Amino acid sequence: MAEATAAAVTVERIADHIALVTLRRPEARNAVNAAVTAGLRDAVRTIEGDPDIWAAIVTGEGGKAFSAGADLKAVSDGGMSGLVDPEWGFAAFVHASRDKVWIAAVDGAAMAGGFEIALSCDMIVASEDARFALPEVKRGLVAAAGGIYRLPRTLPRALAFELIATGEPIDAERALAFGLVNRVVPKADVLGTALDLAQQVCANAPVAVRESLKVARRAFDETDPRLGALSLAAQDVIMQTEDFAEGPRAFIEKRAPRWAGR
C-alpha cells in the first residue's frame, strides 16, 4: 500500500493484513482540520476498499494527544464545513461506512471530537496517561459527533451522564475498569499492544469477523428478532465462502487455518 493519503494523515502497512493510520499534527495536538478530514476520508476508502486489509489501527503522533478534536482556529477561520463530511460526519470518520475492524491506539488525551473518533472505533488501547473527555458543554456546545449517544452505550448510565454533563475527563485506569477501553499499557507499548490485538483478530476468518461485527454494531439499534434474522443472514454469507470449509479442515488436520478472506 502506498504511504500517505494527505500531509496530515499517513497510511502504511505494518503487518500482514493490518494498516496503520496516523494523525500527524502533533504541533496542534492532532486536532482535526480540513487536511485531517480529507486524509481520514482517503484512508477509510483505501482500507475498506482493499480486500487484503482486515484490520486498521488509528493513532495520533507525538505522545501528548490522540486528538484534541476540532481545530478551533480552523473553525474560527471557516466554520465546520471543512471538518464535517456530508455523509461520514466529523473528520469523515465518525459515521463512515466501515466493515473492517478499527482499533484506536490512544496515547495521551482524546478530547471532544478526538474522543468521538476513538468511540467510533471497535476497540481502544490506551496509554497509562490517556484521558478521555467530552468537554463541549464547558464551551456551550454539544458533542454532536456521536459522543452523547455512544458513551451511554459503553459506560454505565450514571457515569456516562456525569461525563457528558460535567465535561470532566476520565483517566485510563477508570476507563478500563468500566469497560471503555480494552487495554491500558505504558506509553511505549501502546502501538505494539494495538498491533497484537489486531493480529489476534486477523488470526480468525476475516469474513466471519466482518459479518459478526456487522450484527454486533447494530445491537443497540434493533430488536432481538431483527438481530436474530441478521445473525442468520450473516451465517448464510459465511457459508458461501472458501473459509467456511477451511476452518473445519484445518481443525481436523491439526494445523493453523489458511484464510482466503473470501
CATH of the domain at 135: 3.90.226.10
| 182, 202, 222 - which closes a domain | 202
Which of 12, 136, 211, 242 is labelled catalytic?
Answer: 136
Contact 162, 134 (CB under 8 A): no
Q: Is 246 assigned a catalytic role? A: no
Q: Is 136 assigned a catalytic role? A: yes
Query: H or E segment at 173?
Result: helix 172-177
Q: What is the pTM of this model?
A: 0.92
Report the pLDDT value the prediction gives residue 246, as an integer from 0 to 100. 76
Report the pLDDT value the prediction gives residue 245, as an integer from 0 to 100. 79
pLDDT in tens, the chain (262 residues): 444 444 899 999 999 999 999 999 999 999 999 999 999 999 999 999 999 999 999 999 999 999 999 988 777 666 677 899 999 999 999 999 999 999 999 999 999 999 999 999 999 999 999 999 999 999 899 999 999 999 999 999 999 999 999 999 999 999 999 999 999 999 999 999 999 999 999 999 999 999 999 999 999 888 999 989 989 998 888 888 887 877 778 778 777 888 877 8
Give residue for cell 471503555: 180
Q: Is the dihedral of CA 197, 6, 32, 153 positive or negative?
A: negative
Tell whether 122 and 236 lie within a shared domain: no
Report the pLDDT value the prediction gives residue 260, as an integer from 0 to 100. 79
Report the pLDDT value the prediction gives residue 79, as an integer from 0 to 100. 65
Tell whether 195 and 231 lie within a shared domain: no
In a domain, 2, yes or no: no
Report the pLDDT value the prediction gives residue 78, as an integer from 0 to 100. 65
Give residue for cell 496503520: 20
Which three-class secondary structure state does DSSP give residue 130?
Answer: coil
Tell whether 244 and 162 lie within a shared domain: no
Tell whether 176 and 120 lie within a shared domain: yes
The CB-based long-range contact list for 22-26 (8 Å cut-off, 24+ gap) reads 22/58, 22/59, 22/60, 22/61, 23/58, 23/59, 23/60, 23/61, 23/66, 23/67, 24/61, 25/61, 25/71, 26/60, 26/61, 26/62, 26/64, 26/65
Report the pLDDT value the prediction gives residue 256, as an integer from 0 to 100. 81
Which of 3, 27, 61, 116 is labelled catalytic?
Answer: 116
- What's the number of domains the chain is made of? 2
Range of the domain at 218: 206-252
Which of 51, 73, 57 lies closest to 15 in space, CA to CA? 57
In a domain, 54, yes or no: yes
Q: Are strands 170-171 and 131-133 parallel, antiparallel or unpaired?
A: antiparallel
Tell whether 37 and 134 lie within a shared domain: yes
Tell whether 244 and 160 lie within a shared domain: no
In a domain, 15, yes or no: yes
